[in-house]
Structure 1
Amino acid sequence: MEKGLLALGFIAQGLFSARFLVQWIASERVGKSVVPLSFWFLSVAGGGLLLVYAILRRDPVFIVGQAGGLLIYIRNVCLIYKERFAKRESADEE
């Protein structure tokens, strides 16, 4: 169980850290700071797995930190989709 838990922790941290690489590459491509949707999906995936890891480790500080962040990441994804839906609706009305 311990090796599996350790593997989960490293996979989760890898996903969570990959979001910064994705954001950096996206920003370099357009020459300004941008936050692509994939950044938020990696945040949700990595944060969610890190929350599972924290729960399995029974670490209350880590649990609270990851749970709070996860709510913010999910909310950002919702806001992005809400904006995209509104833009499509307005384009369809024209």
Structure 2
Amino acid sequence: MDGAMQYVSILAVSSAESVRFWLTVGFLGQALFGSRFLLQWIVSEIKKESTVPIAFWFLSLAGGVFLLAYAIHKKDPVFIVGQAGGLIIYFRNLTLIFKKRAEGETG
């Protein structure tokens, strides 16, 4: 068996296993993505003001990655564009947060 065929046979899974895997990816992404709002609500209630904790952006990024993978698997261009665009925003917000923290430590 040549190298390429051996690789393909390693990746071969039954259709039912594949469906379960991708449903798990999709639901995990949705759970991460949805939990960010619960987190934001709890933190805001504790602080008695509307606030967006850094964990919100990490949950957004993690959930977005899983949902983008699921969207690519489903070959859904609307879902792909929506999730890819969101990932840029989540990453940018985290970049701005860490930049501000670094400036605060050196300034």
Taking structure 1 as the reference length, the TM-score comes to: 0.94
* TM-score normalised to structure 2 length: 0.83
- The corresponding residue for 1:18 is 35
Q: CA deviation at 1:22?
A: 0.6
Aligned to 2:49: 32
Rounded to whole Å, the distance in 2 between the matches of 1:73 and 1:7 is 23
- Please list every run of at least 4 consecutive aligned residues from structure 1 whose deviation after the TM superposition is greater than 6 angstroms: none
**Could you tell me which residue of structure 2 aligns to residue 56 of structure 1?**
73
The answer to whether 1:46 aligns with 2:63 is yes
Structure 1 residues without counterparts, runs of 5 or longer: none
Aligned match of 1:69? 86
Match of 2:96 among 79, 85, 91: 79
| 1:44-93 Cα shifts (integer Å, max 9, x gaps) | 00001100010011111100000000100000000000000111111xxx
Secondary structure at the counterpart of residue 33 of structure 1: coil
| In 2, Cα distance between equivalents of 1:48 and 1:8 | 10
What RMSD over aligned residues (CA atoms) do the two structures have, in Å? 0.5
Tell me how far 1:7 sits from its aligned partner: 1.2
- Number of equivalences: 90
Q: Give the unaligned 5+ runs of structure 2.
A: 1-17
Q: CA deviation at 1:25?
A: 0.6
Partner of 2:11: none
1:7 match: 24
